[in-house]
Amino acid sequence: MGLGVGLIGSGYMGKCHALAWTSVATVFPDVRRPRLVALADATPELARQQAEAFGFGKGTGDWRDLISDPAVDVVSIAAPNEFHADMAVAALEAGKHVWCEKPMATSLEDAIRMRDAARRSGKTAILGYNYIQNPMIRHARTLIAEGKIGVVNHIRLEMDEDYMADPAEPFYWKSERRSGYGALDDFAVHPLSLLSILHGRITSLVADMAKPYEERPTRGDGYRLVENHDIAQALFRTDAGASGVLMVNRSAWGRKGRIALQIFGSKGSILFDQERMNELQIYSTNDPLDLQGYRTILAAPTHPPYRQFIAAPGHGLGFNELKVIECYELLQAIFGEHDAHVIDFERGLEIERAVHAAAQSAEGGTWINVGSVGFLMMPETLNPS
Amino acid sequence: MGLGVGLIGSGYMGKCHALAWTSVATVFPDVRRPRLVALADATPELARQQAEAFGFGKGTGDWRDLISDPAVDVVSIAAPNEFHADMAVAALEAGKHVWCEKPMATSLEDAIRMRDAARRSGKTAILGYNYIQNPMIRHARTLIAEGKIGVVNHIRLEMDEDYMADPAEPFYWKSERRSGYGALDDFAVHPLSLLSILHGRITSLVADMAKPYEERPTRGDGYRLVENHDIAQALFRTDAGASGVLMVNRSAWGRKGRIALQIFGSKGSILFDQERMNELQIYSTNDPLDLQGYRTILAAPTHPPYRQFIAAPGHGLGFNELKVIECYELLQAIFGEHDAHVIDFERGLEIERAVHAAAQSAEGGTWINVGSVGFLMMPETLNPS
Amino acid sequence: MGLGVGLIGSGYMGKCHALAWTSVATVFPDVRRPRLVALADATPELARQQAEAFGFGKGTGDWRDLISDPAVDVVSIAAPNEFHADMAVAALEAGKHVWCEKPMATSLEDAIRMRDAARRSGKTAILGYNYIQNPMIRHARTLIAEGKIGVVNHIRLEMDEDYMADPAEPFYWKSERRSGYGALDDFAVHPLSLLSILHGRITSLVADMAKPYEERPTRGDGYRLVENHDIAQALFRTDAGASGVLMVNRSAWGRKGRIALQIFGSKGSILFDQERMNELQIYSTNDPLDLQGYRTILAAPTHPPYRQFIAAPGHGLGFNELKVIECYELLQAIFGEHDAHVIDFERGLEIERAVHAAAQSAEGGTWINVGSVGFLMMPETLNPS
Amino acid sequence: MGLGVGLIGSGYMGKCHALAWTSVATVFPDVRRPRLVALADATPELARQQAEAFGFGKGTGDWRDLISDPAVDVVSIAAPNEFHADMAVAALEAGKHVWCEKPMATSLEDAIRMRDAARRSGKTAILGYNYIQNPMIRHARTLIAEGKIGVVNHIRLEMDEDYMADPAEPFYWKSERRSGYGALDDFAVHPLSLLSILHGRITSLVADMAKPYEERPTRGDGYRLVENHDIAQALFRTDAGASGVLMVNRSAWGRKGRIALQIFGSKGSILFDQERMNELQIYSTNDPLDLQGYRTILAAPTHPPYRQFIAAPGHGLGFNELKVIECYELLQAIFGEHDAHVIDFERGLEIERAVHAAAQSAEGGTWINVGSVGFLMMPETLNPS
């Protein structure tokens, strides 16, 4: 039998993990069916009920039990963000592999602590950046790597949704400062994960953050000041020499799951929008002049690992299936595949650093060198071990 | 525990069924987890291997064993089309519920035999018309039922792919007459299943069938005459008084999974294309004049049962997930839900009748009354029992 | 100076002609500026007023005066349809070139009479099928002629608007039988003009016509039966061996100026929609497999005669500018250019014949040989003079 | 008769002006037909030839002759950018109205000089920002003004073309520093003119400029360093309290005439792209929840002044026709219409100031207060007279 799986958290993302663990062996013929060992949630009752619903062997109200269970080889962490660091570090120290939902942590210190734990453990530790698993994103990566659009020189990244767009929506924890910067850490990590896969790393940036609504109604009859920013944008430069713009907005009426990429190179360009996740657009100067134009490539069996899901082109993968691919890639990483297509804790920390750099820049109004962030803030981490 | 499942066939559609049976209880909290009892395939070895891969308890090389297994309550039939009738009839006669892949059968006689067996058995017997399960199609049905586009008066249906589009593709069984009419039965059943859900039934039609290529190369160095038609189209009238056009083409270069609907009513219109299956377009005269235009609605938690899969709007369901919904609806039907959203064998037979009517019309060049087809051809079925 | 122009009719299409005559020499450097000699309309007052507004030298209430004016070399006919035949024949007999708005005539007899007059006169006589002048349509023609999509084997043509879509719209002359068949002659001629340019001629067809509304309110308080058909569709075969479907609907809510073409060949396909008239889509199997997809080509200086209007690509031509191109092509034809891109009265008559064949088929419910129409109906026209 | 027109320059934009002057009275019934008095170009020969081609009464090699001609009431300036200021100031001082192509001038000093001359003259002086004349942009302005998307809080502006995208394109004057900043003044003025019409003014910004190619081949066999920037972007805040991003790129492969707007408000959002200039998209929370989505509104007679050009909706205006509307609005302004929809020299100067502020910010890497630009740079202009 396959690896033993422990799942912490059974809300929406927990369900996603459960579906992935359930389906991965059916979809990928080279995978041994994982054993769904244990599920942990806030109370023993809830945990037992969800374990039954999701097909796990048992439920527990204490995630530390799950982590110390010798039958568990890999721990899925889909608990609230503030627990990610403690759970991931504990699991790694217990010798388990870790699959942790994004965002990595609620502070850069915690993210560094997680990265250090992963380094020390030698275990596989990855983050749930599922958008990178889209076959169309991988196809974009291949096309870029093959030079199909030449040398990339300009990039625009947008991520927008509208769940905070209604000014009549009462104040809740998402607008509290302690929940984070706002759109910046809710969203920016996603396009940055794609940038990391497709191109490289942001080296410097200048950012701005904005509040569409200064205050929001409380459940009572008053108003409360909004403490973080639903909108953020940054100008940036990358290690590969490109300029770019990053834009995120969680109060963008009409946008539901938009992650729009525009990548310009010396021989063409590539466009992508997650709202049409089965499509990729490319403009190539290799085409004859009278036939140049953006072409829309539909996801197909020629774009791995689409073929494992569907035999015919153009039939469409879904968001949840990206998680199944992520699960597969996690297994590849665990079993030593060096090309496993994952964002591990090392790379995840880079992404976190860019987010914190943006927040710092927005406060100061100046360009920031991303590499300096964290080290400046927390010099003690320079010699982590 | 839930129902006992037997699966016949473990190719692409068998895998789809396996994924659906595996996932349905994780996705839908009110479902008891089905028991994956047995899988049948062409040889015992293959069956055992696939049973292990898909998580079924055992494998068998004889589908009759599976059907007679008392632990099996419901039989998924994903075997080649020519076996559908025998398998379905046998399963029904053994008191099992049946979930049979489309097309229903390779002859109208067989389809009638299946419908009759379903009637006699009192068991649930449905067909795998998964496109009707798309939340956007259901939303279209709701909008039409609520009168949002008024009285429907005109409908255009297209289904196109390009797997037969290459004239250099060697002759294979798909081009043999005995495999069926060609595009007509490969494709037409799908838009007709949607028409059945959204509007009604074709009462009369005139059809044409065409061959893009008269012959195809053989694997050797010769050519063989193509025996059926990759292209078909029909003008039709429906029982609800609309006129329409049905167009199918399996040699349509560029089309990958297109199922395009245009539904016009007295107060608006609705557009859909399966290649963008998470979108629905509606034009409504209820909008203020200066704001009228097609709007694109993205699949969202407000469109059941999207919410069971994803908590956020616009994130995208996939083709395979339609099968999970279909599995859920099958279970609803089995447990007596009268509104279960399925195409049962009765309705499936109506669809088959329209397909055979089109073929008959294409041969004769005249309008055909769909209701008369089958009865004219096979009068002995008028008193089936 | 250039040719002397007489314009009959100063309504919407008359204005279009006036704009074309005014602009053609500014746009095309090789054209000598036409002299705007005279404008005729229903009354002398209206004619004089419009002559001044449109920059014509004089106005007249009698179109026969205009036709007999020796300063007039070419006559633009933008008067109501029922006068087309008499005006065109008279102008041709007076030795003038003729530019007649579509539809050619209100009866096939009249159309034949016009064709015959054109033959006898030796003058240039063309019809106002401006959609063929779109640079993107010409580009499509070039691509097809170069074999870029191989041998064309299937074609779908749609033309839809919604000006008759409101059932509350009072009965007016458009719904009277004597105004014509309805959508068939209002619209079908346009896609057929495109088919004529891009591919060939319909040789046989079977058609259906439908009424979305059986009756319409009168301006009083009653209802009046609708006498013609807002919807029509036909299955057809062409002289070049393709099958196809023609669909027209003037009560299609949401469609404003849709003329959608789908042209499938053995090596690719081409899509076009007049509502996005500056775009052409092509799918080509010449592309590498991993880059195949519909590409959207934007109108550009590389697509003649776009460059005469705009120096930069993607900036967009408008509907009215197609009329300027048509005017230029008319001048080319007048000055003896054999490749002038126009629909003359010969070709126009073919289009009319297909429309009448469709109406005849819709009545009889059977396939019709287009070539036989007119000759069967009006044998006396076989020896027209 | 109408006003006397003098046109300076007969290249591409000169042709645009000529077409506008020729067509404006035919299109707009309330306009008296302008007299095309004189055309000036570099040499008398060229001027005479173009005067004949464009229908002007005479040609001159000296633009000062044209300006001093008493028959000339209004001067169209379509000469190279470096002459704009001298020509405009001279024309205004000669008591003529001025229609000057964009960009206003090649230095902020010149722009201020032009604005001052306009103030002193009391004549109408406008700039050729034709994109604001699009009926869909005006419709957007109406919708925003009516509060259809609530209070605007975030704006993204993009303008991209690819005429500098090819690194093999030899160095020419566009890459010289003295031709300007690069994309910033080639493009940024256009989206800023739209921002000015739709929303308001940029008050502060931080910008970045980038070179996709550090050097370009010379016509010989060498290379020459590129002196300005093909790419620029800025984060900004507006006087109306919105945050936003401005992005321009003249080396963006695949983009031909893209001017993309995203305008987010508290009750909806509006999208526009000039490459599909006859479409406007709006998302409105006034729609019922189950019908919310971006709707695409097609240009129609309900969007002034579309009706003057075309009687039917969805048929499409072109880029050149925006110039005809601009010409009409110029005449409205000249004849005292206070709501004339134009960018006059006052407003044009504001746009210039934002461009220079962006360049200044890009150099210094810090946020700039736009209002201070120019005054800081050129304090002598504070008391211009």
Under an 8 A CB cutoff, do C269 and B251 touch?
A: no
> Does residue D151 carry a pLDDT above 70?
yes
Average pLDDT over residues A148-157: 98
What are the CA-CA distances from residue C5 to residues C24, C42, C82, C214 (Å)? 12, 18, 22, 44
- The mean pLDDT of chain A is 95
Q: Min CA distance, D251 vs chain C (Å)?
A: 14
Cis before B103? omega within 30: yes
All residues of chain A having their beta carbon less than 8 Å from the beta carbon of residue D166 are 285
Q: How confident is the model at residue D3 (pLDDT cuts 50, 70, 90)?
A: very high
Q: Min CA distance, D193 vs chain A (Å)?
A: 22
**Cβ within 8 Å of C, A 251-290:** 282, 284, 287, 289-290
Under an 8 A CB cutoff, do A284 and C297 touch?
A: no
CA dist D164 and D175 (Å) reads 9
CA dist D320 and D139 (Å) reads 19
- Hey, is C296 helix, strand or coil? strand
**By the CB < 8 Å criterion, does D138 face chain B?**
no
Q: Which amino acid is at A163?
A: Y
Q: How confident is the model at residue C375 (pLDDT cuts 50, 70, 90)?
A: low
**By the CB < 8 Å criterion, does C210 face chain B?**
yes
Locate the chain B residue with the closest alpha carbon to C240.
B212
Q: How confident is the model at residue C185 (pLDDT cuts 50, 70, 90)?
A: confident
- The mean pLDDT of chain B is 95
Q: Min CA distance, C139 vs chain A (Å)?
A: 9
pLDDT tens for B273-304 read 999 999 999 999 999 998 999 999 999 999 99
C371 versus D56: which is more confidently predicted?
D56
**By the CB < 8 Å criterion, does C297 face chain A?**
yes
What pLDDT is attached to residue D185?
Answer: 87
Q: Min CA distance, D311 vs chain B (Å)?
A: 16
Identify whether the C-beta of residue A94 lies closer than 8 Å to the C-beta of residue A116. no
* Spatial CB neighbours of D114, under 8 Å, sequence gap ≥ 6: D84, D85, D88, D89, D92, D100, D104, D105, D125, D345, D348, D349
Average pLDDT over residues C134-154: 98
Cis before A304? omega within 30: no
Q: How confident is the model at residue A373 (pLDDT cuts 50, 70, 90)?
A: confident
Interface test with D, best of B139, B289, B290, B303 (most D CBs within 10 A): B290
> Does residue C384 carry a pLDDT above 60?
no
pLDDT > 70: percent of chain D: 97
pLDDT tens for B35-92 read 999 999 999 999 999 999 999 999 999 999 999 999 999 999 999 999 999 999 999 9
Q: Which amino acid is at B141?
A: R
What pLDDT is attached to residue B377?
Answer: 43
As given in the structure block, the two tokens for residue D232 are: 């620029």
Under an 8 A CB cutoff, do C285 and B253 touch?
A: yes
Under an 8 A CB cutoff, do D212 and A254 touch?
A: no
> Does residue B200 carry a pLDDT above 70?
yes
Q: How confident is the model at residue B378 (pLDDT cuts 50, 70, 90)?
A: very low
All residues of chain B having their beta carbon less than 8 Å from the beta carbon of residue A25 are 53, 55
Under an 8 A CB cutoff, do C254 and B165 touch?
A: no
- The closest CB to that of A249, out of D154, D158, D166, belongs to D154
> Does residue A242 carry a pLDDT above 70?
yes
pLDDT tens for D303-318 read 999 999 999 999 999 9
What pLDDT is attached to residue B383?
Answer: 36
What pLDDT is attached to residue D385?
Answer: 36
Identify whether the C-beta of residue A315 lies closer than 8 Å to the C-beta of residue A179. no
What are the CA-CA distances from residue D166 to residues A244, A286, D194 (Å)? 19, 12, 28
Under an 8 A CB cutoff, do B212 and C154 touch?
A: yes
Identify whether the C-beta of residue C10 lies closer than 8 Å to the C-beta of residue C18. yes
pLDDT tens for A289-321 read 989 999 999 999 999 999 999 999 999 999 999
Locate the chain A residue with the closest alpha carbon to C286.
A287
Q: What is the DSSP string of B92-113?
A: HHTT-EEEEPSS--SSHHHHHH
**By the CB < 8 Å criterion, does B46 face chain A?**
no
pLDDT tens for D227-281 read 999 999 999 999 999 999 999 999 999 999 999 999 999 999 999 999 999 999 9
> Does residue D103 carry a pLDDT above 80?
yes
What pLDDT is attached to residue B375?
Answer: 53
All residues of chain D having their beta carbon less than 8 Å from the beta carbon of residue B296 are 293-296
**Cβ within 8 Å of C, B 163-182:** 165-167
- CB atoms under 10 Å from CB of A220, counted, come to 8
What pLDDT is attached to residue D375?
Answer: 53
All residues of chain A having their beta carbon less than 8 Å from the beta carbon of residue B9 are none
Q: Min CA distance, B311 vs chain A (Å)?
A: 7
Average pLDDT over residues C171-189: 93
Locate the chain A residue with the closest alpha carbon to D265.
A253
Q: How confident is the model at residue D60 (pLDDT cuts 50, 70, 90)?
A: very high
> Does residue C382 carry a pLDDT above 60?
no
Q: Which of C279-283, C337-341, C354-358 has the lowest average pLDDT?
A: C337-341
**By the CB < 8 Å criterion, does C363 face chain B?**
no
- CB atoms under 10 Å from CB of A222, counted, come to 9
What pLDDT is attached to residue B104?
Answer: 95
Under an 8 A CB cutoff, do B291 and D282 touch?
A: yes
What pLDDT is attached to residue A335?
Answer: 96
> Does residue B334 carry a pLDDT above 60?
yes
Q: Which phi and psi angles does B38 have, rounded to 5°? A: -150, 150
Pairing of strands C243-249, C152-160: parallel
Q: What is the DSSP string of D281-305?
A: EEEETTS-GGG-SEEEEEP-TTSTT
Locate the chain C residue with the closest alpha carbon to B160.
C264
Cis before C217? omega within 30: no
**By the CB < 8 Å criterion, does D139 face chain B?**
yes
- Hey, is C380 helix, strand or coil? helix
Q: Is the dihedral of CA A136, A139, A144, A148 positive or negative?
A: negative
**By the CB < 8 Å criterion, does A307 face chain B?**
no
What pLDDT is attached to residue B253?
Answer: 98
Average pLDDT over residues D199-224: 95
Q: How confident is the model at residue C374 (pLDDT cuts 50, 70, 90)?
A: low
Q: How confident is the model at residue B192 (pLDDT cuts 50, 70, 90)?
A: very high
What pLDDT is attached to residue C221?
Answer: 84
What pLDDT is attached to residue D338?
Answer: 83
**By the CB < 8 Å criterion, does B145 face chain D?**
no
**By the CB < 8 Å criterion, does B26 face chain D?**
no
Q: How confident is the model at residue B185 (pLDDT cuts 50, 70, 90)?
A: confident
Under an 8 A CB cutoff, do B314 and A255 touch?
A: yes
Average pLDDT over residues A237-247: 97
Average pLDDT over residues A226-240: 98
pLDDT tens for D320-363 read 999 999 999 999 999 998 889 999 999 999 999 999 999 999 99
Give the number of A-B residue pairs with CB atoms closer than 8 Å: 125
Q: Which residues of D66-91 are buried (b: 16+ CB within 10 A; e: fewer)?
A: bbebeebbbbbbbbebeebbbbbbbb
Q: Min CA distance, B233 vs chain D (Å)?
A: 29
What pLDDT is attached to residue A374?
Answer: 66
Under an 8 A CB cutoff, do A19 and B33 touch?
A: no
Intra-chain end-to-end CA distance of chain A, in Å: 36
Q: Which helix (H) or strand (E) is D38 found in, with range?
A: strand D35-40
Under an 8 A CB cutoff, do A293 and C289 touch?
A: no
Which domains, and CATH codes, for chain C? 4-130 (3.40.50.720), 132-364 (3.30.360.10)
pLDDT tens for B220-231 read 889 999 999 999
All residues of chain B having their beta carbon less than 8 Å from the beta carbon of residue C150 are 167
What pLDDT is attached to residue D374?
Answer: 66
Q: Is the dihedral of CA A209, A211, A212, A218 positive or negative?
A: positive
All residues of chain A having their beta carbon less than 8 Å from the beta carbon of residue B312 are 161, 163, 256-257
Q: How confident is the model at residue B337 (pLDDT cuts 50, 70, 90)?
A: confident
Q: How confident is the model at residue A357 (pLDDT cuts 50, 70, 90)?
A: very high
What pLDDT is attached to residue D99?
Answer: 98
CA atoms within 13 A on the CB side of A208: 22
All residues of chain B having their beta carbon less than 8 Å from the beta carbon of residue A163 are 312
**By the CB < 8 Å criterion, does D297 face chain B?**
yes
> Does residue D378 carry a pLDDT above 70?
no
What pLDDT is attached to residue A221?
Answer: 84
**By the CB < 8 Å criterion, does A292 face chain C?**
yes
Under an 8 A CB cutoff, do C19 and D25 touch?
A: no
Residue among A381, A92, A136 at smallest CA distance from A280: A136
- The closest CB to that of B302, out of D290, D294, D295, belongs to D290
What pLDDT is attached to residue D373?
Answer: 84
Q: Min CA distance, A34 vs chain C (Å)?
A: 34
What pLDDT is attached to residue D383?
Answer: 36
pLDDT tens for D132-142 read 999 999 999 99
All residues of chain A having their beta carbon less than 8 Å from the beta carbon of residue C290 are 139, 142-143, 297, 302-303
Q: Which helix (H) or strand (E) is D349 found in, with range?
A: helix D345-364
What pLDDT is attached to residue B376?
Answer: 42
Locate the chain D residue with the closest alpha carbon to B293.
D297
- The closest CB to that of C295, out of A142, A143, A293, belongs to A293
Q: Of how many residues is chain B composed?
A: 385
Average pLDDT over residues C341-352: 96
**By the CB < 8 Å criterion, does A27 face chain B?**
yes
Class of residue B307 by CB neighbours under 10 A (exposed 0-12, middle 13-18, buried 19+): middle
What pLDDT is attached to residue A384?
Answer: 33
pLDDT > 70: percent of chain C: 97
Average pLDDT over residues B229-243: 98
> Does residue C358 carry a pLDDT above 60?
yes
Q: Find the DSSP H helices in chain C.
A: 12-27, 44-54, 63-68, 84-93, 108-121, 135-145, 183-187, 189-198, 306-309, 319-334, 345-364
- The mean pLDDT of chain D is 95
What pLDDT is attached to residue A358?
Answer: 97
All residues of chain C having their beta carbon less than 8 Å from the beta carbon of residue D22 are 22-23, 26
